[in-house]
Structure 1
Amino acid sequence: MTSSSFQHLDVATLAGWLDAARPLTLVDIRDPASFAAGHLPGSRHLDNDGVPALLAEAERETPLVVVCYHGNSSQQAAAWLAGQGFEDVYSLDGGFTDWRSKHPERVASGDVDGA
């Protein structure tokens, strides 16, 4: 895998990883209001202002999963993050929309800090 590539991840695989408590960094790049209305448990909202903190805090060896609305915007963000030295970067295919439709009971809500 080159330093600027990412992998696609389907909802079923991510659900399995979460069930197994696999260490992950989950970032959601949707707008703050959408994130506050519902997001994957354990994810953190990521916008341009939050990128420096993510780059400073996140472990480069921990798999990083990028979530957007439908799995399109996350691909560009995932490619960029892979170029920043993250070793295993994934874009969630189908995005939050697909996650919510398949796992409505596994949607958290709250502030944009992911708390």
Structure 2
Amino acid sequence: MTSSSFQHLDAATLSGWLDAARPLTLVDIRDPASFAAGHLPGSRHLDNEGVPALLAEADREQPLVVVCYHGHSSQQAATWLAGQGFDDVYSLDGGFTGWQMQHPERVVAGDADEA
């Protein structure tokens, strides 16, 4: 039996995936106010209450990218999600803060998911 784990993903690679419209699931585990203030296009806010819906709805065969503030707590969440049967799980290195610095044009605000 192999251990469930995640992979690290840099902002440049994720940007390329978004440019190519690669099917993926983006989840942001920051607090709701931070998410509303700005997040990656297409991401959904994920908190403890939202986990059952994610587990029920998300395609476990497409990449799942976890975003936090700086790329640290997303690693724990990514490890846990990999253990839930997702095949291809990533933690965004640098988190939202790094993404916003490198790609300010790719940040949206508002409470609604930008699917």
Q: TM-score w.r.t. structure 1 length? A: 0.96
Structure 2, unmatched stretches of 5+, are none
Contact kept, 8 Å, 1:3 with 1:85, in 2: the verdict is no
Distance in 2 (alpha carbons) for counterparts of 1:6 and 1:102:
23
The aligned counterpart of 2:45 is: 45
Q: CA deviation at 1:3?
A: 5.2
Code of the residue aligned with 1:98 in structure 2: it is G
Verify: 1:114 aligned to 2:113, yes or no.
yes
Structure 2 length normalisation: TM-score?
0.96
Distance change (3 Å), C-alpha of 1:44 and 1:69: same
Structure 1 gaps, min length 5:
none
RMSD: 0.9
Query: 2:8 aligns to what SS in structure 1?
Result: strand
What does 1:79-98 align with in structure 2 at a 5 Å threshold? Answer: 79-98=79-98
- What SS does the corresponding residue of 1:91 show, helix, strand or coil? strand
Change in Cα spacing, 1:52 to 1:108, as seen in structure 2 (3 Å) is: same
Aligned residues: 113
Deviation >3 Å, runs of 4+? none
Aligned residue in 2 for 1:20: 20
Match of 2:65 in 1: 65
Percent identical: 85
Q: What letter is aligned with 1:114?
A: D
Equivalent pair of 1:3/1:82 in contact (CA under 8 Å) = no
Structure 2 counterpart SS, 1:74 = helix
